Homo-oligomer: A and B are copies of this chain.
Amino acid sequence: MKRFGKFISQNPLIFLLLAIPLTLAAQVLHWSSIAVFILAAIGIIPLASYIGEATEDLASYTDPRLGALLNATLGNAAELIITVTAVQAGLLELVKASITGSIIGNLLLVLGFAFVVGGVKHGTQTFNKVNAGRNAILLVLAVVTLIIPSVFSQSIVGAAADSKVEALSIGVAIIMIALYGLGLFDASRSKESVLSHTVPKDELPDWTLAQAIIVLALATIGVVYMSESLVRVAEDVITGLGISEFFLGIILVPIIGNVAEHLVAVQMALKNKMDLSVEIAVSSSLQIALFVAPLLVFISLMLGHPMQLIFNKFELLALLAAVVISALVSSDGESTWLEGAGLLAIYLILGLAFFLLP
């Protein structure tokens, strides 16, 4: 009984797996769309967490170069699956909003929570200033690559405008993927790179290689199924709750896909391991901006719903605000609960504004 209690306290998300059979039941028994949506969303949380853990176990068994690549590409698998499913359903606004939402969620919500929770327990916390500076540079680079085509696209008008915006979007996606590839190449040679962050050994579950592969496969299938359930009822939920596709994409989807990772970042802050906490939030943002976003451009093209890397004014403002503030806050290698409260305040204000948008 005591062992069972310990198991539960180490795996608090396991209960959420119950949402998977409940989602099945909800669909079979024709429960309301909102019920299906909430259950599917809850069910994705532990599955996304298992994908992450299995990936990191797998990476630890392989050559470091392959490991870095695995971590980088599968690290946001859940998010990628949800967004690809949404692209298939033609919900392009939701997909773009969820890219923005993932980045600002990581940089404001997760980092803010980590700073507050860690700061209340440990006072002013410190982390490696040099690494934080390097990551901030990559982050600003990544966001500027997202901003440039958006601003330019607003002024490309006339007959050939659509094809020009598409050309620009694909060109930017190729340059970003190339830059990300160079980053991975660099990461495979140095252990410290933000693009190949690894959870320290003692945090890893004791899965064998075979177990890791099986968990990865099962969890991935689970996320695919749950994402389809989620996206199928998304439009009903938007109509039912009176919220916008944009709000669903920017606030809700990123939270669902990243809850597990967010928890780890906050736990690390509680253990006063701020380097890891900051790295998780920043590297996740970088992967979204430099890998997931351009990848979705290509995937959407193949799926016949071409999505362009063109964000609206609010998304750009939110991205810029989040990146500048988190870069600034982390540039001194120090965090306090007051800085965390400031990050959360910006997230709240952005959330309120997004909610009020028509």
Contacts and interface: CB of A to CB of B under 8 A. Distances in A.
A317 B357 contact: no
Contacts of A348: 175
A91 to B, nearest CB: 21
A331 B327 CA distance: 13
Given A179-B345, A356-B156, A140 B338 contact: no
Nearest to A165: B356
Interface in A139-175: 140-141, 144-145, 147-149, 151-152, 155-158, 164, 167-168, 171-172, 175
A353 interface: yes
Nearest to A163: B356
Interface string A305-345: 00000000110010001001101110110101111011001
Given A133-B332, A328-B137, A349-B171, A341 B151 contact: no
Contact of A328 (B140, B157, B313): B140
A352 interface: yes
A140 B324 CA distance: 9
A38 interface: no
Interface of A: 130, 133-134, 136-138, 140-141, 144-145, 147-149, 151-152, 155-158, 164, 167-168, 171-172, 175-176, 178-179, 182-183, 186, 313-314, 317, 321, 324-325, 327-329, 331-332, 334, 336-339, 341-342, 345-346, 348-350, 352-353, 356-358
Given A145-B349, A152-B353, 20 more contacts: A130-B332, A130-B334, A137-B329, A137-B332, A137-B342, A140-B325, A141-B342, A144-B321, A144-B325, A147-B317, A148-B317, A148-B346, A151-B313, A151-B317, A155-B314, A156-B358, A168-B356, A179-B345, A186-B338, A327-B328
